[in-house]
Structure 1
Amino acid sequence: MASSYFRVALAQVMPDADSDGYIASAAKAGADVVVFPEMFSNGYSRFDPEDEASQKSWIDAAVELDGTFIDKFRSAARRNGVAVVATFLERGKVKPFNSAVLIDSSGEIVLHQRKRHICFFAIPEEVCAPGESSEVIRLQTGAGEIAIGIMICMDREFPDVASDLVRAGAEIILVPNSSPLVDDVGVGDIRVAGVRAMAFQSVVGVAVANYPEPKDDGRSFAVDPLGKVVTMGGTIQELVIADLDLDHIRATQKNEWFRRVR
């Protein structure tokens, strides 16, 4: 009989980490899915806006959806029998995209999501194009079939993305991230508070994977459908494990149905 718990491994690691090793460790820990931070293909690096060559080099480093970078994660997912959310700067015909893919345990890409609310006002995303829609897929896991959607970083700050995922029946939302979650000098831990509120309003489980210090501040975390923090990591490079209770999510969605009417 399937477990009631969906186990998420949040890979709070830098882009030069042994991603294959972390995926293998997550699988050994019984994870159903491993989530990497935002734009992992280049570590959410930046370029010099005054240097055209620097900007061009950054854009030229974008990777193809069917290229070797994503193939590496597909192979690791297949080899370890675990789903993976891989993130990357995706090559586009005109502009690149800030993208993520959900790869199932057989190595197949089952969801391709482009960040909708790009940081068009800041480097590096000022040269990126936004995505246009959000989808939910039903992922087969050891915990049974689960309705999953993806938000990328700032997408979690806008109600339209959550509303679209709710309308599509999302039970769990996975969030690759790159920003201070607790130690932001300007806003403190408001991003954690925002995710908690979004989870409560949308009645979903949410798991956020962030970069560790010194890039960001770690604190990868997960919340239940009432907005309660289930787990939160530290600031170092680590694998943060979160268990989301599917029975609780589904019972709460039934009881709090009015929150999901858009």
Structure 2
Amino acid sequence: MPGPHRVRVALVQAEAEPDRDANLRRQDRLFRKAAEQGAEVICTQELFATPYFCQEESVAAFRWAEEIDGPTVRFLQDQARKAEAVVIGSFFERRAPGLFHNTAVVIDAAGELLGCYRKMHIPDDPGYYEKYYFAPGDLGFRVWSTSAGRLGVLVCWDQWYPEAARLTALQGAEILFYPTAIGWHPHEKESEGAAQADAWRTIQRSHAIANGCFVAAVNRVGVEKGPGGRAIEFWGRSFVADPMGRVIAEASAEEEVLLADLDLGLIEEVRIHWPFLRDRRVDAYGGIAARYLG
């Protein structure tokens, strides 16, 4: 289906604590704020209903996992119906005993679950021990036709991979949404913080430019403590970039609902003048599927 000319999106950037009910109450308030301001698509941060438990490898953290018909997805369906908006939400999916994914669901404005995307790229870094919890996604890269246009969803670590953005855009995505949980280790912030945040912003702007589409990245905020006195300071700064890579809306480092009005007609205009899809040498890219060519 063709997308509407203009779409208002809302990115819900919030803190999270070790109390699912408290997190859902916070999100309910923020969703209502987004709805009151006319949002047609509302997207949460990564793992919005839980703390970022991946700072350590802990069997106890599997208590946060839910089936896809569990309370967190039902909460999102209820929010979609109340807001009359498409909702994208990220949660810890229990697919089967012993099998878990980092999953984002797409729900239409009537509250119907359209489908889900399972995070494909799973990090394993100090403080981000996601391979302990999540199996890599097996649904591939996906796009959904909705009342707000054709939407693609990728999750956090996926945002560093041009291949993921490209394959999603090639299916007709007009907007790429990236639910995210990224921040600083406090000991790195002074020396590396500005460069890390700039790299994060730059790589996603490049996806918008290279694919001639909109990109919406929504991050969490606040300091979450980990084991041994360690912590991550999530830097927020959710943003939306247009098909020329211009940042048209950007959040602070505090809890907020970021709104952006997207003119989807700009996609064709930009692609006509920057015909990257036309000029791709699809006959020459076979090596991209190799791990390394050196």
SS for the counterpart of 1:59 is helix
1:24 aligned residue (16, 21, 32): 32
Tell me the distance in 1 between the aligned counterparts of 2:8 and 2:259: 7
Tell me the distance in 1 between the aligned counterparts of 2:222 and 2:56: 22
Residue 86 of structure 1 corresponds to which residue in structure 2?
89
Tell me the distance in 2 between the aligned counterparts of 1:45 and 1:245: 37
SS for the counterpart of 2:135 is coil
Counterpart amino acid of 1:20? Answer: D
Residue 106 of structure 2 corresponds to which residue in structure 1?
102
Q: In the TM superposition, what whole-angstrom CA distance separates every residue of 1:78-104 from its partner, at most 9, and x where no partner exists?
A: 122111111111113333111111111
Q: In the TM superposition, what whole-angstrom CA distance separates every residue of 1:177-229 from its partner, at most 9, and x where no partner exists?
A: 11139x65263411101111111011110011111233411111000001111
Residue 118 of structure 1 corresponds to which residue in structure 2?
122
2:264 aligned residue (225, 246, 255): 246
The answer (yes or no) to whether the contact 2:210–2:276 under 8 Å persists in 1 is no
The answer (yes or no) to whether the contact 1:82–1:104 under 8 Å persists in 2 is yes
CA separation of 1:162 and 1:29: change in aligned 2, threshold 3 A: same
Counterpart amino acid of 2:99? Answer: K
Residue 156 of structure 2 corresponds to which residue in structure 1?
153
The answer (yes or no) to whether the contact 1:170–1:204 under 8 Å persists in 2 is yes
Residue 52 of structure 1 corresponds to which residue in structure 2?
none
Counterpart amino acid of 1:221? Answer: F
- RMSD between superposed Cα atoms in Å: 2.0
1:204 aligned residue (213, 234, 241): 213
Residue 239 of structure 2 corresponds to which residue in structure 1?
221
Q: In the TM superposition, what whole-angstrom CA distance separates every residue of 1:206-258 from its partner, at most 9, and x where no partner exists?
A: 01111123341111100000111111111111111111111112322344333
Counterpart amino acid of 1:252? Answer: V
CA separation of 1:3 and 1:136: change in aligned 2, threshold 3 A: closer
Give the C-alpha shift of residue 77 in structure 1.
Answer: 0.8
Where in structure 2 are the equivalents of 1:27-66 lying within 5 Å?
27-46=35-54, 48-49=56-57, 55-66=58-69
Tell me the distance in 2 between the aligned counterparts of 1:168 and 1:3: 17
**Normalising to structure 1: TM-score of the pair?**
0.88
2:196 aligned residue (174, 178, 187): 187
2:77 aligned residue (62, 74, 79): 74
Give the C-alpha shift of residue 5 in structure 1.
Answer: 1.9
**Normalising to structure 2: TM-score of the pair?**
0.79
Q: In the TM superposition, what whole-angstrom CA distance separates every residue of 1:164-183 from its partner, at most 9, and x where no partner exists?
A: 112211111111011139x6
Counterpart amino acid of 1:97? Answer: H
1:131 pairs with 2:171: no
Tell me the matched-pair count: 251
Tell me the distance in 2 between the aligned counterparts of 1:254 and 1:178: 35
The answer (yes or no) to whether the contact 1:23–1:77 under 8 Å persists in 2 is no
The answer (yes or no) to whether the contact 1:47–1:58 under 8 Å persists in 2 is no
The answer (yes or no) to whether the contact 1:179–1:210 under 8 Å persists in 2 is yes
Identity of aligned residues (%): 29
The answer (yes or no) to whether the contact 1:171–1:250 under 8 Å persists in 2 is no
Tell me the distance in 1 between the aligned counterparts of 2:237 and 2:167: 27
- Structure in which a larger fraction of residues adopt helix: 2
Tell me the distance in 2 between the aligned counterparts of 1:24 and 1:61: 25
Counterpart amino acid of 1:84? Answer: V
The answer (yes or no) to whether the contact 1:14–1:211 under 8 Å persists in 2 is yes
Counterpart amino acid of 2:183? Answer: P
Gapped runs of 5+ residues in structure 2?
A: 17-22, 224-232, 283-294
Give the C-alpha shift of residue 59 in structure 1.
Answer: 1.6
Gapped runs of 5+ residues in structure 1?
A: 50-54
